[in-house]
Structure 1
Amino acid sequence: MSISILAPEKLLPVSVELPTSKSISNRLLILNALSYSAHPIKNLSDSDDTDAMLRVFSSNSRDFDIGAAGTTMRFLTAYLAKQVGEWTLTGSTRMKQRPIHVLVDALNKLGGRVEYIEKEGFPPLRIFGSALVGGDLELPGDVSSQYISALLMIGPYMEKGLRLKLTGNITSRPYIQLTIKLMEQFGIKCKWKDALIEVPAGVYQPVAAKVEGDWSAASYWFEAVALAGEGAHLVLKGLDRYSWQGDAAVARLFESLGVQHKFSNKGLQLTNTGKRTAAFRHDFTEEPDLAQTFAVTCAFLDMPFTFTGLHTLKIKETDRIQALIKELAKFGYVLHSNDRDNLEWKGERCTPAEQVEVATYKDHRMAMAFAPAVLKTGYAFSVADPGVVSKSYPRFWEDLAQAGFRIQK
C-alpha cells in the first residue's frame, strides 16, 4: 500500500499538537516498574514502541514479541535480566538483524545470564533473570546510547551498583544525560565525570511523572516551514523549552536553514525568514535521528551538505545512510558516503525518475522526512507503507492534512 502526497498551495499557519516522546515514555515505564510505582504516567506516547512496552508489562506471559521496537528490545533485555525467572524476547525480521551483543556481553559480565536462541549476537534472546552483582564495566562510547541507558537504569539494583567507563568518542550523549536526569527524578543520583558514570546501589522512589512533547517529531515541521518559503509559519504545541531531549537541538540547527523559532504562551512559533547559509555542515553524533530530516531539507533547498557522526544509522530500522542515497536519487540528487559515518551532497544531480515512490524500508523516519519535500517538487509523489509512522507519530498524516497537504490513498 502507498499514498500520494500533493502540496498545499500555501502551508497553512496551523497549531500542531505534537506526539509525546517515546524516548521519555519508555524510560519512565522502566523506572516506574523498578520503583513499583502506583502512579500512572501522564501523557504516555501512543507510539508502537511504547505500546510494545505496555503490552509486556500488562502480560502474564514469559515470552515476548516486541516487533520492531528497538528501544523496547534494549531496555527490556536489561530489565528482565534482573527479574527472577526465565524469559524469551524476540521481534520482527529486522529486529533479528540488529546486533545486541554489546548489551548481552555487558549483562553477562555483571552477573547476568542471557543466551542467544538463534544467531549469535542477535535476538531472539533467552534471559535467565536473577540478582546482578554489578561493579566495574567498560564499554565503547560509540555504541548505541540505548545499551548504556538500559544498563544505567538497572544499575541501582545491582549488588555493587555500577561503575561504567566509556572509552573513545561518546555517541548520543544527550540521550544518556536524559536517562540520568529521569533516574534523578526517581531518587537515584548518578555521578558522570569525564568518561566515568557511577550509579550507586539503591532503590528508586515512586513519583508522579509526565511525558513532554517529542522534539524528534517537531523536526518534520521545521522542515516543512523551511521548504515552504519565506513567510511560512506555524505553531508547535507540547514542547518543553528546557528539554533534555537531544533532538531539541533541531531548533538551533534549523536557524542555518532559515527557520526562526520563538516560544510564546501559544507554543513554539516557527517562521521562515528567507535567510539561510550557502552550505550546511554538522556532526550528528549527539542527534543521529535528525540526519534524515536535514538530508532531505538541504537537498531540496539546493544546499550542499556534509554530515558526519552517522555510524549508528546503519543499525537503525534500516541502513539509513544507504536508504537516503537511494531515495534522494529518485528525485535527482547524487549523494555520497564513505559507508561508515558520513553523508554528503556537493550539488551533483542525475536524471530524476518519471514517477517517484519513496520506499520507507519499515522506517518511520524515512516516511516523515520525505513527506514535506512535496512542497518543492512541483508534482505529487507516493510514499510506500505510510502506516510505518505509527512507530513514533501515529497522527502524522492527519496533521499534514491539517496544514493543507492533500493525502490520497
Structure 2
Amino acid sequence: MTENLKKNNNLIGKIFLPSSKSISNRLLIIRFLCENDFEIGNLSNSDDTKILEKTLYKIKNSSKKDEFIKFNIGNSGTSIRFLTSLLSTQKGKFIIDCSERMKKRPIFIMVKALRELGADIEFLEKKNFFPLKIIGKNLISKTVEMDANISSQFISSLLLIAPILPDGLKIILNKKIVSSPYIDLTLSLLKEFGIKFYRKKNEISIKKGAFLEKNFFVESDWSSASYWYEFASFSENVNLEIYGLKEKSLQGDKIVHEIFKKFSIETFFKKNSIILKKNFFIKTTIFFKFDFSDCPDLVQTVVVTLCFLKIPFEISGLETLKYKESSRVETLQLELKKFGFILKYDGKILSWKINDFIINKNKNIFIETHDDHRIAMAFAPVILKNYNLKFNNPEVVNKSYPNFWKEIKIMRNF
C-alpha cells in the first residue's frame, strides 16, 4: 500500500497525540511485577505496546510451565529487550523470536549482564543476536558492568527487574552513555512506584523492594510531536494546539521545542497542552550544530527539516542509529538524495552544505520507508515544499503513531 499526500500551507487546529510508548512499556513491566494490579490510563495504542501487553498476558496466564512458550515480537525493540530480562526471572521455558531486521540488532551486552546474574539464555541462530531460548530462574544480586554506548534499553531492562532480585542490583556504566534521558525516565518511574535507588555519575544502585499499587495516567508522546513541529516550520500560518504534553515532562525528546525555536517556531505551554506558532521575529539560525546522543529519535525529523529549510548543519551523537529500525543515517542519505540533497557522514559527523545539492526537477517522489516508522513520518511534511509524495508501506507508522495519516488528512483539509 502507498500513501499519497497533497499540499496545504496552513497549520491551524488541534491535535491529540498518541501517548508515550516509552512510558507505557515501562509501566506494563512494572504492573506485571507488582503484587497488585493497577490501572494505566491513556496506555499507548502503538503496535509496540500492544505486542508487549499481549505477550505479558500470555506469560501470566500460561499453565504450560514445563513446555516452551514461543513469542514473536516482530520489530519491537523495547518489548523484546524488556522481555529478555523479565523472562529470565520467571519460572518457565521461553523462546523469543523477531523480525529479520531485529535479528541484526545486537543483544550481547544485555545477555552478558543477565548471565552474570545467573540467567539461562541461549542464542538459537547467530551468536550475540536474537532469537533466544530462555529458561527462567531465580537470579542473584551482584554488581554488573555494562557498556552504555549501544542502547539505553539494555540498562532500563535490567533496572526494571532489579527490585525483585534478592539484594537489588548495582550497575556500572562504561563508555559514553547514549539516550541518558531514557535511563532517567526508567528511574523516575521506579521512584514513582516506591523503589529506592542511588545514582552517582556512571553508577546506579537499585534497592530490593515491592512495587506500589498506584494508578497512572500516561502523558502524550514528545517524539510524535516533533513531526508537527516540522509541519509548522514549513507552514506559512501556524496556530496549532497539541494536547497531552507537559512542560515538566519525563521525556527527553521534549527538547524538540528548544530545537525548533531556532527555526522560528515558538512553543506556548498551557496546563495540558502546547500551542505552536510561527514567530517571524525570531531569526532562523544560519548554521545548526547539535549532539543528538540524548535524543536520537529526533534525528530524522530535524535533518529533513534542516535540508528543506536550506540550513547547513553538522550533527553528532548518531552512533546508535545503525541499530534502529533501519540504519538511519544511511536511509536518510538515500531518501534525501532523491530530492538532490547530498549528505556526508564520516562515522561521527553527519553534515550538509548549501553546495551539496543536485538540482532535481522531478516533483513526484517515491519514499521508501525501509520498515522504519520515523522515516515515513519525518518525510510527510515535505508535501509543503511543492512535492507530490508517495510512501511505500505507510502502515509502518502504527509502530508508534497509528493515527498519523488520519490526523494529517484532517489537519490538511484533504
Residue equivalent to 1:257: 263
**What pairs with 1:96-135 in structure 2 (closer than 5 Å)?**
96-135=103-142
Secondary structure of 1:397's aligned partner: helix
Quick one: which of 229, 244, 251 aligns to 2:250? 244
* Equivalent residue letter for 2:239: H
Residue equivalent to 1:51: 50
**What pairs with 1:32-181 in structure 2 (closer than 5 Å)?**
32-59=31-58, 60=61, 62-181=69-188
Query: 1:186: how far off?
Result: 1.1
1:369 pairs with 2:378? yes
Secondary structure of 2:184's aligned partner: helix
Secondary structure of 2:75's aligned partner: coil
- 2:267 and 2:42 map into 1 onto residues whose CA distance is 24
- 1:253 and 1:310 map into 2 onto residues whose CA distance is 17
Count residues in correspondence.
402
- 1:185 and 1:320 map into 2 onto residues whose CA distance is 34
- 1:283 and 1:15 map into 2 onto residues whose CA distance is 31
Residue equivalent to 1:182: 189
State the TM-score, normalizing by the size of structure 2. 0.95
Gaps of 5+ in 1: none
**What pairs with 1:167-246 in structure 2 (closer than 5 Å)?**
167-229=174-236, 231-246=237-252
The answer to whether the Cα contact below 8 Å between 1:332 and 1:353 also exists between their aligned partners in 2 is no
Select between 396-405 and 296-305 the one with higher mean Cα deviation: 396-405
* Equivalent residue letter for 2:268: K
Query: How far does the alpha carbon of each residue in 1:281-321 deviate from its partner, in whole angstroms, 9 at most, with x for none?
Result: 10000000000000000000000111100111000001000
1:315 pairs with 2:302? no
Query: 1:214: how far off?
Result: 0.2
Secondary structure of 1:285's aligned partner: coil
Quick one: which of 313, 318, 340 aligns to 1:305? 313
Residue equivalent to 1:289: 297
Query: How far does the alpha carbon of each residue in 1:55-104 deviate from its partner, in whole angstroms, 9 at most, with x for none?
Result: 10222552111111110000000011101111111111111111111111
Residue equivalent to 1:399: 407
Query: 1:168: how far off?
Result: 2.3
Judging changes above 3 Å, is the alpha-carbon distance between structure 1 residues 405 and 191 closer, same or farther for their aligned structure 2 residues? farther
1:25 pairs with 2:24? yes
Quick one: which of 359, 362, 369 aligns to 1:360? 369
Taking only the aligned residue pairs, the percentage that are identical comes to 41
The answer to whether the Cα contact below 8 Å between 2:110 and 2:146 also exists between their aligned partners in 1 is no
The answer to whether the Cα contact below 8 Å between 2:2 and 2:390 also exists between their aligned partners in 1 is yes
Judging changes above 3 Å, is the alpha-carbon distance between structure 1 residues 329 and 144 closer, same or farther for their aligned structure 2 residues? same
- 1:77 and 1:149 map into 2 onto residues whose CA distance is 12
Gaps of 5+ in 2: 63-68
Secondary structure of 1:325's aligned partner: helix
Query: 1:345: how far off?
Result: 0.8
Query: How far does the alpha carbon of each residue in 1:241-295 deviate from its partner, in whole angstroms, 9 at most, with x for none?
Result: 2111010110111111111000125720001113311011100000000000000
- 1:58 and 1:129 map into 2 onto residues whose CA distance is 17
The answer to whether the Cα contact below 8 Å between 2:365 and 2:387 also exists between their aligned partners in 1 is no
